[in-house]
Amino acid sequence: MKITDVKTYAVRVGFRNQCIIKVETDEGIHGWGESGLSSREQAVIGAVQHFREIIVGKDPANISALWQEMYRGCYFEGGRVLTAAISAIDIALYDIAGKALGVPVWRLLGGKHRDFVPGFATTQAPTLEEMIADCKLLMSLGWNVIRANPCLVRDEAERGIYEPMESIPKAARWLTRIREECGEKLVLGTDAHHRFSVPEAASLCQRMPAGTLDFLEEPIRAENPDAYASLRAMIQVPLAIGEEFPSKWAFLPFIERGLTNFARIDICNVGGFTEAMKVAGLAEAHYIDIMPHNPLGPICTAAMVHMCAAVPNLSWVEVRTTPTERLGFDDQELFPVQVRLEGTRYPVPTGPGLGVEFNEALAAERPYEMDRRWFLRKRDGSITNA
C-alpha cells in the first residue's frame, strides 16, 4: 500500500474552525486526522502541504519512521505548527492501519485497559447562582468531576477586557461556595487558561480554604518551567498542565520535576498517537495520570478515546458536549459516524480504525472564517493572555 494524496479541510464547526486532513492510499483506504492548533489552521495547512511532498508514495504502515522523517526532516525541527500538522497525519495513518487490519486503533497500541473512558464536564455560567445550579444538575446526572471556570467568565459589557487581579477575588469566592454547596463527593477543578502571573495564581489559591480545588489547570504560561517551580512552592493545589505542549521534550521537565500532577496531553497537538503514547509512558513512570485536552471535534475525540483505552494511567477526559455546554463541535451532519458519549463516559470503540467519518461535500458549504477572538487586553490597552 502507498500514500497517494493528503487533503486538507478548514471548516467552521460551531463557533470555531476545525482543521481536518484526509490521507488517501492506492488501495482505496483513507484515514482521517485533525489538528488541534486552534486559530492557526492556515499555518497548519501550509505545513501539511509541505509534509505531503515527503510522504506521498510512502508505505502508510511505517508510521513511526514517517513521524521521524517529518519531525527531523529539516534542520529546524519541532514547534507547535509542525507538530500539529504531524499530529493530524499520524492520527490518519493509524486510522488507515486499523481499517486495513480490520481492528480498532487501540488494538494497535497494545490493547485496552478499560471498556469506557470517563469524562469531566465544564460550566462557565455567568453568575455564581447559575454555576452552582449547573454543578448540581451535572452531579444529579452522574458527573462527579466538574471543571467550574469563574476565571474565564467575562462581563459582556466589557468583552475583550480582562484584568487578572479583578477576577481573582470573585473566582476564589465562587469556587469556595461551589465546594460548600456541592460537598466532598465532587471532584472540583478550574481552568485559568494561563491568564495569571505566578503571584496572581498563588493569590487565587491562597484565598480559598485547603481542599477547595482538586486541580488547577494551566494557571500560568508554560514556556518557563522555573516559573511553575516557583508557583509549586507557594501552593498546595494539584496542577494540570500540558495542553499546549508539542512534544515529549516539552513535557519532560514538568514531569521529571514534579511540576504537574495531571498531564494534559492533546493528541492533536503533541504529535499524534506516536508521541502521545510516549508522553503517557513517561507520565506513568512518575506516577502521573493523564487528563487529555479535548476542545475540538469528533476526530480529536475519537483519537483521544483510543489512546485512553490503551494507557493504564488515566484520570478523566475533557467533554465539551454536556447538559451545561452545547458548543456544536460534534456536528452530526458533518460527522455522521463518530464516537458518541453515553452518559458521562465514552464507550471504547470496537469497529476498525478510529470510528469516524467526515462529510466532505457538506464541508464545502461550511467556509473557513478567520478567527480573531483570542485577543484580550487590560484596561490600559496592553495585551494579556487569552
pLDDT digits (tens, 9 = 90+) for 161-181: 999 999 999 999 999 999 999
Lowest mean pLDDT among 4-13, 332-341, 368-377: 368-377
Summarize the confidence of residues 148-153 as an average pLDDT: 93
pLDDT tier, 110 (very low <50, low <70, confident <90, very high otherwise):
very high
Summarize the confidence of residues 261-282 as an average pLDDT: 98
Dist CA 69 CA 263 (whole Å): 26
pLDDT tier, 36 (very low <50, low <70, confident <90, very high otherwise):
very high
> Over the chain, what is the mean pLDDT?
95
Where are the chain's structural domains?
Answer: 3-103, 107-350
Q: Which residues are catalytic?
A: 193, 293
pLDDT for residue 156 is more than 70: no
pLDDT for residue 373 is more than 70: no
CATH number for the domain running over 3-103: 3.30.390.10
* pLDDT on residue 155: 67
Summarize the confidence of residues 225-251 as an average pLDDT: 97
Summarize the confidence of residues 208-235 as an average pLDDT: 97
The per-residue pLDDT for range 112-150, each reduced to its tens digit, is: 999 999 999 999 999 999 999 999 999 999 999 999 999
Lowest mean pLDDT among 125-134, 241-250, 354-363, 364-373: 364-373
pLDDT tier, 359 (very low <50, low <70, confident <90, very high otherwise):
very high
* pLDDT on residue 213: 98
Summarize the confidence of residues 94-123 as an average pLDDT: 98
pLDDT tier, 288 (very low <50, low <70, confident <90, very high otherwise):
very high
pLDDT for residue 157 is more than 90: no
Domain 107-350 classified CATH 3.20.20.120?
yes
* pLDDT on residue 14: 87
